[in-house]
Amino acid sequence: MVFNWRRLVFGKPFPTQHAHHTRLPNSLALPIFASDALSSVSYATEEILLVLATVAVSHQVLQVSWPIALAIALLLGIVATSYRQTIHAYPQGGGAYRVSRENLGLGAGLVAAASLLIDYVLTVAVSISAGVAAITSAAPYLQRYTVWLAVAFILFIAVANLRGAKESGLLFAIPTYLFIATITTMIVVGIVRMALGHQLTPPQPPEGSWARGAETLTFFLVLRAFSSGCTALTGIEAVTDGVPAFRPPEAKNAARVLAILGVILISMFVGITYLAHQLHVIPFPADMEGPHAHRQTVVSQIAYAVFGGGWFYFVIQGATAMILILAANTAYVDFPRLSMFLAEDRLLPRQFANVGDRLVFSNGIIGVTILSILTVVAFGASAHHLIPLYALGVFLSFTLSQSGMVVRWLRLRPHGWQLNAGINALGAAATFVVLIIIAVTKFMAGDPIQFFPLTTSLGLWLVGTAMGFVLISMYHRWMGKWFLGLAIAGFLAAWPLLHFQPLAMVEVHLGAWLVMVAIPTVVWMCFRVNAHYKAVADHLTMDRYVGVPDFKHTVLLVVSGLHRGIMPAVKYARSMGDDVRAVYVEIDPPKTATLLDRWHHWVPDVPLVVLESPYRSLVEPLLAYIDDVEKERDDDIITVVIPEFVTEKWWTKLLHGQNGLLLQWALRYRRGVVVTNIRYYLDSPGQQAAFQHPLTSHLE
């Protein structure tokens, strides 16, 4: 059953020998590595406008978006140029983890790796959420299913990736090119129509959506808008990771693709922001509620204005949704690969390095799926609420990676290293400045969540514990008064805490601080994992091994009576050593005498030990007896042989006690005891004959 189901969903397993690197032509490499970076232009402009709109919705204020966009475009150019150097320096693939670790040390490498892992999860969550928003802009009746749609898309991408990356490459090329083509068309048509003097009116949010003059335009707010827009840079580093996937000359092809990607990215982002600016687009508030609240994205507003809601509008919305949902695919390629690197370096559980049925790193894929679904559900699939958490990790890894390159140039000093180091130093400096801006402006920019303050939590905990003591005092009469005393003390201690500060809540805003906490946590976990693997390796090394001492077998055969089913187990036990004892736990004392008689008649050479069990427990007397046997000799190993019935039909299992399983469970953590199950099949006579096995009682 399970196997058939797996085949159906994931396809037939691939043999190991089929593993080979599919070299990608540039035309396929571009969409595969670019979808993440390109997709972010669909929401970057909107995020800038959403910050500015809180100030006051006047077109003058929104004009500020234009210089901000130009600054981001400049940053994009610097980062792309800087990364081209990394490609040439690391033709075997120069992810931030590798570059940082090699040049700055394990700690820096792990910080970069942790930032990237967190960021891949956020990439999935943000892209999927924005993609669903593009769909619900065009089809508002789907708005109530937002979270469900997001989860469904994540699962779809997960299945596609578990089936293998080869197929995904082809599957994801078309939407990327469609997105580039449609957005470019929109920008060109928009500019042409404006030049021709057409009146283009974008849909605007309902009156009163934005409180006028609520805040003033401060420099801080401009920086915040800038850092929101910096999400446009996310995903640009993907090409550097994947250099070996290009056709030779790999580095040259990869650098060319990165250059093309940079140009497309800058043009599209600047184009969209220019149109928004010229068309006086006012964004819809992120949290529109109410029965008729039909929220539109900024791209949707522009497309509507340019094409007037015709069929091309729906094509743009569809292409946007597709590239956003498929942009998550980049994270689905990167997260498992980075986890694999970390697992091979014994910094993450080794299971992440296992190759699955279809030659993909299934555990990494499953990991990113679970984490991103949790994120999407927690944030209600709202891209806007995820953005404050998003870009920090990217820029931290940018900074580390570029700094690593600078250190590398200073170390190797090849011909013309000064220029190269200068470019990377500029990249590092620029991304570091942005990192600081993001950290400061987005620190608590997100949704508020509510906690009990510490005092209230302590009070509630005291009340709960005191109620537990009351319960205990009701049952344990002789020491009840002590527990009652403790309970009263607990209630008294809780009183001031809960009385003087009633159930108030403390409000904490989500934001970049969450990522700042998460990154060191992940780094710490990786160090712990590494320490464990090192300890195990040290423990298991053969270096100082001199041998296992000799031992004798003591075999305990647990019996519940004497019948044909246990005779093979008796024979098996006897074959293992000389000290074999049958052990019988006496639940019903009157039956013991008969059993002893029969035992001596049928099995005269194995002694039967009868264990009293005053409380009718099977396990406890047996454990006590094992203790006694262990004290008898030092050089023996106790093997507990448990004969087990196997019945033919499922329901007949219920007619026999599951004592074998119970015993196995109880002995599971019992040191120095080896457990052996001897199964005995209760077949119908026909089947019994068909299966001739030595461990079967022979009949006359």
Query: Which lies closer to a copy of itself via its Cβ, residue 144 or residue 350?
Result: 350
527 near a copy of itself, judged by CB under 8 A: no
* Least Å from the CB of residue 167 to a copy of itself: 12
* Helix or strand (DSSP H, E) at 450: strand 448-451
Least Å distance, CB 541 to a copy of itself, is 7
Q: For the segment 330-349, give every residue that binds a copy of itself (CB under 8 A).
A: 349
Which span (146-154, 395-403, 442-450, 559-567) binds a copy of itself, by CB under 8 A? 559-567
Under rule CB under 8 A, residue 699 binds a copy of itself: yes
576, 596, 609, 623: which one binds a copy of itself (CB under 8 A): 576
The length of the chain is: 700
614 touches a copy of itself (CB under 8 A): yes
Q: How far is the CB of 15 from a copy of itself (least distance, A)?
A: 4
- Interaction residues for a copy of itself, span 2-41 (CB under 8 A): 8-9, 11, 13-17
Query: Is 589 near a copy of itself (CB under 8 A)?
Result: yes
DSSP assigned state of 566:
G
**N- to C-terminal Cα distance for the chain?**
40
506-509 vs 448-451, strand pairing mode: antiparallel
> Stretches 191-199, 374-382, 401-409, 545-553: which one binds a copy of itself (CB under 8 A)?
545-553
| Beta carbon nearer to a copy of itself, 491 or 533 | 533
Which of the stretches 124-132, 314-322, 449-457, 646-654 binds a copy of itself when contact is defined by CB under 8 A?
646-654
Task: Write the DSSP assignment of 607-635 as a string of letters.
Answer: -EEEEE-TT--SHHHHHHHHHHHHHH-SS
**Among the listed residues 212, 292, 415, 539, the single contact to a copy of itself using CB under 8 A:** 539
Residue 646 interacts with a copy of itself (CB under 8 A): yes or no = yes
Residue 167 or 215: the one with the smaller Cβ distance to a copy of itself is 167
- Strand 506-509 relative to strand 673-682: parallel, antiparallel, unpaired? unpaired
Kindly provide the b/e burial profile for residues 479-515, where b requires at least 16 CB atoms within 10 angstroms of the residue's own CB.
eeeebbebbeebbeebeebbeeeeeeeeeeebbbbbb
* Backbone conformation region of residue 380, classed left if phi is above 0, alpha if psi is from -120 to 50, else beta: left
217-246 binders of a copy of itself (CB under 8 A) = none
Residue 665 near a copy of itself by CB under 8 A? no
Of the candidates 472, 508, 596, 629, which one interacts with a copy of itself according to CB under 8 A? 472
Residue 475 is a binding residue for a copy of itself (CB under 8 A): yes
By C-beta, is 444 or 596 nearer to a copy of itself?
A: 596
Residue ranges in 673-692 that form contacts with a copy of itself under rule CB under 8 A: 674-679, 681-682, 684, 691
Largest CA distance in the chain: 111
Q: In sequence order, what DSSP letters do the residues of 307-368 get, joined into one string?
A: HTTSHHHHHHHHHHHHHHHHHHHHHHHHHHHHHHHHHHTTSS-GGGG---TTSS-HHHHHHH
Q: Using CB under 8 A, which of 114, 567, 580, 608 touches a copy of itself?
A: 567
Phi-psi region of 580 (alpha: psi -120 to 50; beta: other; left: phi over 0): beta
Q: What is the C-alpha to C-alpha distance for residues 242 and 149, in angstroms, rounded to an integer?
A: 30
Kindly state whether residue 355 participates in binding a copy of itself, applying the rule CB under 8 A.
yes
Measured CA to CA, the distance from residue 69 to residue 265 in angstroms comes to: 12
Contact residue for a copy of itself among 553, 619, 625, 666 (CB under 8 A)? 553
CB 388 within 8 A of CB 445: yes
What is the amino acid identity at position 564? Answer: R
**What minimum distance in Å lies between the beta carbon of 52 and a copy of itself?**
46
74 binds a copy of itself (CB under 8 A): no
Residue 659 CB, nearest distance to a copy of itself (Å)? Answer: 11
For residues 36 and 238, is the Cβ–Cβ distance under 8 A?
Answer: yes
Q: How far apart are CA 319 and CA 307, in angstroms?
A: 15
608-612/579-586 β-pairing: parallel
